């Protein structure tokens, strides 16, 4: 749901007494005292004084009940530290005594921020949800995912790690190193690749850190690199315990494998596409998960004609509920749907619906071909539904199989509904 971002006056924003960062506090000075003491607001104020507020972050507000139409006041639920820092820079007298001098110094050349971009939430639970997304960690990919060492290096561009990052990147592209294997290896690789002896052994020219090159034949470059990466992965000859003497010695030993041939200096980023290597099998694309049991419009229309409120609602529910999260519940739901429909079609209580749909019955309903697939799907639905419903522990969690089985029997269900309607007494 899109929400409007509005510029809101800082003086109309109050700090939240029940912010998750602290126990409930009763006054604004108490909150400011806590945030300054325990939440590094002074450092944040320094950053805001120098660079301004982060334009990538929006404040989340809740309106204070009973405030006027034109002079509304708000409580900040998301962004307490930012609002606190801005308020202190705007008026250093608000700072606790032992922080006031530092805040005043930061505010000397600071232009007061009168308003901030903010979103006002009427639904407090919705705001709590989004705050949980921001502050609750990765949460399986839903929340904010911190950069690893390699990703931080790409962002900051520190010269110290540029050679190592380039070597690890090309090694991964060549298939010498997986993402999992390179995790935690950047610093060790950097220490070794800072050695001139190691770089020469790999044929690396790092005179221009923005365009690192290799200067030996590509097959030889890959061979030398493969040895280095293998030693790095095994934590044997290339490890964090090596000092400079050991690292240089390793480089001289590795250089003994060089042929002495040279090639035109080429950007290391092109090495993966230039390397002669066996064609590797591409990993097949994984099929997406089935989110719901497929909704069959023809089946829904047939149920509407049948005028069975129970069956219509059962059909809607089993097609609406998340298959990934509620497979056991849907297993019972599909079983109940087929049980109810076949009972309406004349199945007696002593006969299960698999027996009801005998080969002869399936043929009478006009389903041609071999009925084995239909009966196998019905058997799974009956067995899994009964087990999930009645057993104290056992249950079926195979949602995708259930979805496939329901698709398989859908034509049979529609034929059954048509047969019920055809044999109704006028």
As a whole number of angstroms, the distance between CA 397 and CA 294 comes to 17
Q: Which helix (H) or strand (E) holds 196?
A: helix 196-202
Same domain? 44 vs 135: yes
Q: Report angle CA 204, 206, 207 to the nearest 5 degrees.
A: 135
| Residue 118 DSSP symbol | E
Q: What number of CA atoms fall less than 13 Å from residue 219's CA on the CB side?
A: 5
The last residue of one of the domains, among 97, 123, 141, is 141
Antiparallel, parallel or unpaired: β 115-120 and 59-63: parallel
Average pLDDT of span 38-52: 87
Whether residue 136 is predicted with pLDDT greater than 80 in this model: the reply is no
Determine, yes or no, domain membership for 282. no
Res. 346 pLDDT band, cuts 50 70 90? very high
Alpha-carbon span 291 to 289, nearest angstrom: 6
| pLDDT of res. 143 | 54
Tell me how far apart the alpha carbons of residues 79 and 51 are, in angstroms, rounded to a whole number. Answer: 17
Q: What is the pLDDT of residue 201?
A: 93
Dist CA 48 CA 113 (whole Å): 10
Compute CA 196 distance to the chain's CA centroid, rounded to the nearest angstrom: 41
Same domain for 236 and 199: yes
Is residue 316 domain-shared with residue 360, that is, in the same domain?
Answer: yes
User: Do residues 191 and 247 make contact, with C-beta atoms less than 8 angstroms apart?
Assistant: yes
Lowest mean pLDDT among 83-92, 204-213, 398-407: 204-213
| Last residue of one domain, picked from the residues 141, 167, 201 | 141
What's the half-sphere exposure (Cβ side, CA atoms, 13 Å) at 351? 12
Task: Give the DSSP H/E element, type plus range, for residue 214.
Answer: strand 213-214
Has residue 289 been placed in a domain?
A: no
Supply φ then ψ for residue 305, to 5 degrees. -65, -40
- Whether 280 is covered by a domain: the verdict is no
322 Cα distance to chain centroid: 19
Residues 206 and 240 in one domain: yes
Residue 313 and residue 423 in contact, taking contact as beta carbons nearer than 8 Å: no
Residues 178, 118 share a domain:
no
Please indicate, yes or no, if residue 291 is contained in any of the structural domains. no
Region for 369 from its dihedrals, namely left if φ exceeds 0, alpha if ψ lies in -120 to 50, beta otherwise? left
Q: Do 231 and 135 fall into the same domain?
A: no
Q: Is residue 168 part of a domain?
A: yes
Whether 284 maps to a domain, the answer reads: no
Percent of the chain with pLDDT over 70: 88
**Do residues 157 and 90 both lie within one domain?**
no
pLDDT of 273 above 90: no
Note whether residue 350 is domain-resident.
Answer: yes
Domain boundary at 225, 240, 274, which?
Answer: 274
Quote the domain boundaries for residue 220. Answer: 149-274
- For residue 418, is it within any domain? yes
Please state whether beta strands 266-267 and 213-214 pair in parallel, antiparallel, or not at all (unpaired).
antiparallel
Q: Domains in the chain: how many in total? A: 3
Split at pLDDT 50, 70, 90, the class of 426 is: low
Whether residues 156 and 235 fall in one domain: yes
pTM higher than 0.85: no
Q: 32 and 119 share a domain? A: yes
Q: How many CB atoms lie within 10 A of CB 304?
A: 12
Q: Do 313 and 411 share a domain, yes or no? A: yes
- Per the listing, tokens 């399936």 go with 362
* Beta strand extents in 269-333 (DSSP E only): none
Identify the residue whose tokens are 């997406």.
288
Q: Are 254 and 304 contained in the same domain?
A: no
Q: Looking at the predicted structure, is the pLDDT value of residue 68 above 80?
A: no
Fill in the DSSP letter of residue 116.
E
3-state secondary structure of 393: coil
Strands 6-9, 204-205: pairing kind:
unpaired
Are 123 and 164 in a shared domain?
no
């Amino acid at each position: 749901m899109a929400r409007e971002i509005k510029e809101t006056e800082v003086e109309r924003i109050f700090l939240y007494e029940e912010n998750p960062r602290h126990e409930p506090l009763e006054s604004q000075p108490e909150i400011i005292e806590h945030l300054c003491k325990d939440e590094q607001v002074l450092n944040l104020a320094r950053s805001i004084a120098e660079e301004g507020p982060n334009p990538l972050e929006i404040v989340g507000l809740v309106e204070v009940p009973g405030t006027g139409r034109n002079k509304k006041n708000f409580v900040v639920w998301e962004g307490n530290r930012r609002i606190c820092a801005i308020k202190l820079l705007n008026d250093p007298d608000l700072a606790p005594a032992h922080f006031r001098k530092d805040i005043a110094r930061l505010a000397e050349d600071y232009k007061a921020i009168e308003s901030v971009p903010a979103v006002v939430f009427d639904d407090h639970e919705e705001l709590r949800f989004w705050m949980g997304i921001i502050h609750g960690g990765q949460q399986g990919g839903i929340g904010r995912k911190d950069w690893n060492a390699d990703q931080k290096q790409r962002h900051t561009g520190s010269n110290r790690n540029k050679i190592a990052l380039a070597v690890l990147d090309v090694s991964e592209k060549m298939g010498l190193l997986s993402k999992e294997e390179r995790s935690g290896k950047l610093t060790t690789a950097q220490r070794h690749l800072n050695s001139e002896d190691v770089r020469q052994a790999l044929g690396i020219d790092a005179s221009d850190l923005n365009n690192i090159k290799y200067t030996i034949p590509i097959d030889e470059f890959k061979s030398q690199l493969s040895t280095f990466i293998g030693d790095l992965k095994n934590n044997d000859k290339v490890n964090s315990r090596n000092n400079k003497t050991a690292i240089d010695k390793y480089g001289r030993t590795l250089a003994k494998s060089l042929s002495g041939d040279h090639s035109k200096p080429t950007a290391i980023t092109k090495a993966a596409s230039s390397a002669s290597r066996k064609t590797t099998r591409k990993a097949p694309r994984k099929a997406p998960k089935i989110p719901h049991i497929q909704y069959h419009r023809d089946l829904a229309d047939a149920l509407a004609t049948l005028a069975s409120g129970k069956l219509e609602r059962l059909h809607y529910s089993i097609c609406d509920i998340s298959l990934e999260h509620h497979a056991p519940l849907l297993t019972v739901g599909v079983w109940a749907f087929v049980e109810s429909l076949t009972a309406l079609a004349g199945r007696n209580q002593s006969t299960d619906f698999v027996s009801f749909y005998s080969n002869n019955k399936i043929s009478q309903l006009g389903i041609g071909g071999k009925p084995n697939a239909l009966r196998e799907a019905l058997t799974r639905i009956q067995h899994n539904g009964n087990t999930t419903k009645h057993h104290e522990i056992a249950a079926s969690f195979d949602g995708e199989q259930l979805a496939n089985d329901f698709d398989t029997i859908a034509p049979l269900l529609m034929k059954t509904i048509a047969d019920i309607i055809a044999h109704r007494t006028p």
